[in-house]
């Protein structure tokens, strides 16, 4: 990989914006929780007629990568659009949430019988949330011997039940995932200096796990739960990605990430 031939394309409504034709910057985060992530995109010197076609709540997609190897890094909904002059340039900033507004998904005292399993409740809660369920795998399918009462925000209910099962729940590109980051049929991405690794991997340690912070040239395949086979002079390891971001600026075209050990 090299830093030549980089490509980014934004699509929303009937409009498409390519980095070949427009100056584009973005930060697109991803992580392993149920709070919608907010991406920030900047496009410069759009006409007033084009700006009028960028509307709140429209779907927005970003495909990015290198000539011959691009992929989707964002699928979300426009939450804010603002335009201001920055010197001689007209700068349009677009904020995008990677799911629609989930704050209205609430329940009040939905009771489940004694012996109900977590998998049954989670499947029902996923239906209440209204997002496509991309992956569903529980470390342990807990049985609630005393029954269970679901009440409050649906995202909080899913989070609590998934935690009971030792499992993560998160939203990614508009889809719901209930799974362990360390388990699944994820492709293994080899990351070395020859395949885009930038700088030295940095170790980190928290209460229940440890891992590495990594930076690479932008790789659209890397997202939450991606499996990285790290090959560097300092360390060789397998890592499961828990969070990170894709970034494009005038000088950078990178993916930054944190991965945890198996």
What distance in Å separates the CA atoms of residue 138 and residue 136, rounded to the nearest whole number? Answer: 7
- Domain of residue 220: give its range: 188-260
Judge whether residue 207 has pLDDT over 90.
no
Beta strands per DSSP E along 98-187: 106-112, 116-117, 133-136, 143-144, 148-153, 168-172, 175-179
Number of domains in the chain: 3
Q: Are residues 169 and 145 in the same domain?
A: yes
Give me the mean pLDDT over the 128-156 stretch. Answer: 95
Please state the rounded mean pLDDT for residues 227-252: 94
* 145 belongs to a structural domain: yes
Q: Which of the listed residues 160, 179, 198 is the one where a domain comes to its end?
A: 179
Burial of 3 (0-12, 13-18, 19+ CB in 10 A): middle
122 is a domain residue: yes
86, 112: one domain? no
Span 247-258, pLDDT tens digits: 999 999 999 999
Instruction: State mean pLDDT over 153-181.
Output: 95
- Residues 116 and 196 placed together within one structural domain of the fold: no
């Amino acid at each position: 990989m090299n830093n030549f031939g980089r490509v980014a394309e934004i699509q929303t409504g009937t409009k498409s914006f390519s980095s070949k034709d427009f100056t584009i910057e973005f930060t697109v985060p991803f992580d392993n929780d149920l709070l919608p992530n907010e991406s920030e995109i900047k496009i410069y010197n759009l006409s007033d007629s084009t700006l009028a076609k960028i509307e709140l709540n429209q779907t927005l997609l970003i495909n990015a990568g290198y000539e011959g190897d691009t992929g989707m890094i964002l699928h979300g909904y426009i939450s804010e659009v603002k335009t201001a002059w920055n010197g001689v340039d007209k700068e349009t900033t677009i904020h995008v949430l990677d799911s629609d507004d989930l704050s209205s998904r609430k329940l009040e005292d939905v009771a489940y019988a004694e012996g109900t399993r977590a998998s049954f409740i989670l499947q029902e809660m996923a239906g209440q949330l209204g997002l496509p369920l991309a992956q569903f795998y529980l470390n342990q399918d807990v049985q609630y011997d005393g029954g269970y009462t679901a009440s409050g925000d649906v995202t909080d209910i899913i989070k609590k039940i998934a935690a009971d099962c030792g499992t993560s729940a998160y939203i990614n590109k508009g889809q719901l995932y209930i799974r362990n980051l360390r388990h699944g049929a994820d492709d293994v991405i080899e990351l070395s200096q020859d395949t885009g690794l930038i700088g030295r991997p940095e170790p980190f340690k928290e209460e229940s796990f440890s891992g590495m912070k990594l930076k690479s040239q932008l790789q659209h395949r890397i997202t939450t739960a991606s499996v990285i086979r790290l090959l560097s002079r300092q360390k060789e390891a397998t890592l499961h990605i828990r969070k990170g971001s894709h970034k494009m600026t005038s000088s950078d075209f990178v993916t930054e990430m944190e991965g945890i050990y198996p």
